Structure 1
């Protein structure tokens, strides 16, 4: 089975939860922020990942998503969309949701979700579970009587998750209680959006949504998921931060060169320096404090990428990831009029490290990543890793850590394709 999983990547047994309609209602207002909105999307994807595959038959789960901000800006991924019939299609649809960054019309969003996704889409024998993620506050111009709009249907169960917003304000518990139909057991309170993607919380939501799963294992040969085109139709600035410490070794350094080149070959890069869509790449190698090598700044030019990868020297040094993050934010991304990222682009840091590093300035650096709305991913290999540091780098999103026995594993199709889908 180990061999089959490595070569096929789709042979794990799955949980099947029966006929279950799930609707996620996620806050996309200005106070949430781009990083936290991305964490909301990752929460949706990670939760559904735990519930097995989706299929267009009456006995499988269907999923809908509503993102909301001010009135008239509600967007949906519909329960009955014929194109959302696989996990790949669902992930692609969720990842393509764009942060609205307006006001907060929570009551109207609840009514909109019921009227457009639930009322006419409910299936016979299907339980409807609604998960609302918000800080609890909403625009006073909205109709607060609609907070209990979902409570009038006995076949709908509402779970309210209250999260402190990006300004560190706590959520409004009374509003959450109204959303959850006065059922305190259906309310979850948390301080940070990173708690949404924590492993223990995802496990809790798995139990809430699917308390009695049926475990099914597929017949061989495996059937792979649909291919998701990389970073389709949106700007992504992808920055690789490579730990060039002596622990890496020259063989792994060469594997990383191959990996970054393979990523560049797979992604659709921007057409020119003025192109506001598609992908751009940067590569920075870091060693001890203030010892860095920039292979190439954010660029769409494949020749620049290839030359930078080929000529990048191996530092064979110690490691200080905190100062590397600070340097990258200040000089690679830039600030003010010297800003080098594109307007509206998702900024993604990919750390290639085992986490064994000087962490003296890491907390400040991670805080800076949050302020800059940066999404982070870690690639770590081997058994001798510092998991606490890795979790800090990905802001506690366990799903954002890619692990393998050795770095050459990242070149294998199963892990490489999953990485491309994740960063896109």
Structure 2
């Protein structure tokens, strides 16, 4: 089932899944890692994105409501409640999910399941609504926790539990028996994965869409467009964006100039940090790469608009060959850090934006991607044209097809529809 985005007049068709409450319980322990925790959040957002409209009022007897619990050791649980009156749109929900910060502690899975029911479901579930819980974990938990609570959600027949078990960042195999227990001993609702990137694969998202909303109703309202106030994105959390521009001969002088315009437009659109000590908002860096060891940093991570403008103006087109592996390592060890000095901000989401068609020297690319993961980097890819290397692009995007933005030509990324979608993604 694919997401329907037709147009009735000026308004998008909407998918309605009936009265449904969905609660995601996601593992935020240290073993998961920041990169994988970000993939968990992207999974939550991408799944709900496919389910169409949300309830505009938490007390409404109809519509879809969504809650999230992130957990680590006991006493650290955080949640987005089903009945939160501020979560009345997809954009509000996405912002709330993006603002969840990795806890990086122990793993009290049974207690988290009890917390989810007692605090999000028991007193706020609606009489006619279906309640679905999606648990994402590596399947293991602290032995000090009460394993009798693994089936706590199963005590309510109105609650359906789907458990997803994933090998954690140390490649430790998850506990399948625990996973089945969480899914109320229904093996059909227990899914095992090797990598967190599998969460955001199109095939799995389609599966979850069908599981959570098997019989949607599509409605196309005949309403005039409504405009909303334009609020600068990336203002409530720290985001460090590093653009890696493939300056090979395949790019061309014209596209090179368009890329500079695009990066400037991103800088103008985002809410940039207000000072060196600002722990929120965005900072940008840009590096152009060519052949091995041919890397030019236009500007390092900065919040200063003048530095961005001057760096873009001074950057020259390399017109060279391409080695994305070398560029990735250079960015990690020269832009994110230098020696023992960390140049990213504490708790910042660090994102690499690769601008490339994937036709590049990709020897040892797997090692470069693994190094990105170990440095808690998430990635997005921008590619244009039909002559691309999809395999390389997929590796750079860590397997997340949603993180690959494609356009027929680079000028498409300067248009509002694709540009806005990119901004929403990185923020």
Change in 2 beyond 3 A, CA 1:234/1:9: farther
For residues 222-259 of structure 1, give each alpha carbon's deviation from its aligned partner in whole angstroms, at most 9, with x where no partner exists. Answer: 45677564112322111000011111111111111111
Distance (Å, rounded) in 2 between the aligned partners of 1:138 and 1:420: 37
2:89 is matched with which residue?
A: 86
Matched residues, number? 420
> CA contact under 8 A between 1:296 and 1:305: conserved in structure 2?
yes
1:127, distance to aligned residue in structure 2 (A): 0.5
For residues 167-189 of structure 1, give each alpha carbon's deviation from its aligned partner in whole angstroms, at most 9, with x where no partner exists. Answer: 00011111111111110001000
2:16 is matched with which residue?
A: 16
1:328, distance to aligned residue in structure 2 (A): 0.7
Query: What TM-score do the two structures reach when normalised by structure 2?
Result: 0.94
- The correspondence for 1:419, drawn from 409, 422, 427, is 422
Distance (Å, rounded) in 1 between the aligned partners of 2:358 and 2:332: 20
2:157 is matched with which residue?
A: 154
| 1:153-232 matches, cutoff 5 A | 153-219=156-222, 221-223=224-226, 229-232=232-235
> CA contact under 8 A between 1:322 and 1:362: conserved in structure 2?
yes
1:124, distance to aligned residue in structure 2 (A): 2.1
> CA contact under 8 A between 2:6 and 2:12: conserved in structure 1?
no
Distance (Å, rounded) in 2 between the aligned partners of 1:115 and 1:376: 36
1:135 is matched with which residue?
A: 138
Distance (Å, rounded) in 2 between the aligned partners of 1:313 and 1:385: 24
Query: Structure 1: where are the runs of 5+ without partners?
Result: none
1:59, distance to aligned residue in structure 2 (A): 2.4
1:336, distance to aligned residue in structure 2 (A): 5.1
Distance (Å, rounded) in 2 between the aligned partners of 1:223 and 1:185: 43
> CA contact under 8 A between 1:89 and 1:228: conserved in structure 2?
no
Distance (Å, rounded) in 1 between the aligned partners of 2:147 and 2:123: 24
1:50 is matched with which residue?
A: 50
- The correspondence for 2:285, drawn from 274, 277, 282, is 282
Distance (Å, rounded) in 2 between the aligned partners of 1:81 and 1:166: 32
Query: Structure 2: where are the runs of 5+ without partners?
Result: none
1:265 is matched with which residue?
A: 268
2:65 is matched with which residue?
A: 62
Distance (Å, rounded) in 2 between the aligned partners of 1:6 and 1:141: 51
1:315 is matched with which residue?
A: 318
1:277, distance to aligned residue in structure 2 (A): 2.7
Change in 2 beyond 3 A, CA 1:381/1:86: same
- The correspondence for 2:385, drawn from 375, 382, 385, is 382
1:41 maps to 2:41: yes
Distance (Å, rounded) in 2 between the aligned partners of 1:218 and 1:323: 51
For residues 203-232 of structure 1, give each alpha carbon's deviation from its aligned partner in whole angstroms, at most 9, with x where no partner exists. Answer: 110111111111223435445677564112
Distance (Å, rounded) in 1 between the aligned partners of 2:316 and 2:227: 38
For residues 63-121 of structure 1, give each alpha carbon's deviation from its aligned partner in whole angstroms, at most 9, with x where no partner exists. Answer: 00000111111111111111111110110000000000111111111011001111111
1:15, distance to aligned residue in structure 2 (A): 2.5
Distance (Å, rounded) in 2 between the aligned partners of 1:227 and 1:142: 46
Distance (Å, rounded) in 2 between the aligned partners of 1:221 and 1:383: 36
- The correspondence for 1:72, drawn from 61, 71, 75, is 75
Distance (Å, rounded) in 1 between the aligned partners of 2:229 and 2:68: 20
1:363 maps to 2:366: yes
1:350 is matched with which residue?
A: 353
Query: What TM-score do the two structures reach when normalised by structure 1?
Result: 0.95
Distance (Å, rounded) in 1 between the aligned partners of 2:251 and 2:281: 31
Change in 2 beyond 3 A, CA 1:398/1:11: farther
- The correspondence for 2:333, drawn from 330, 335, 360, is 330
Q: Relative to structure 2, which stretch is displaced further, 405-414 or 35-44?
A: 405-414
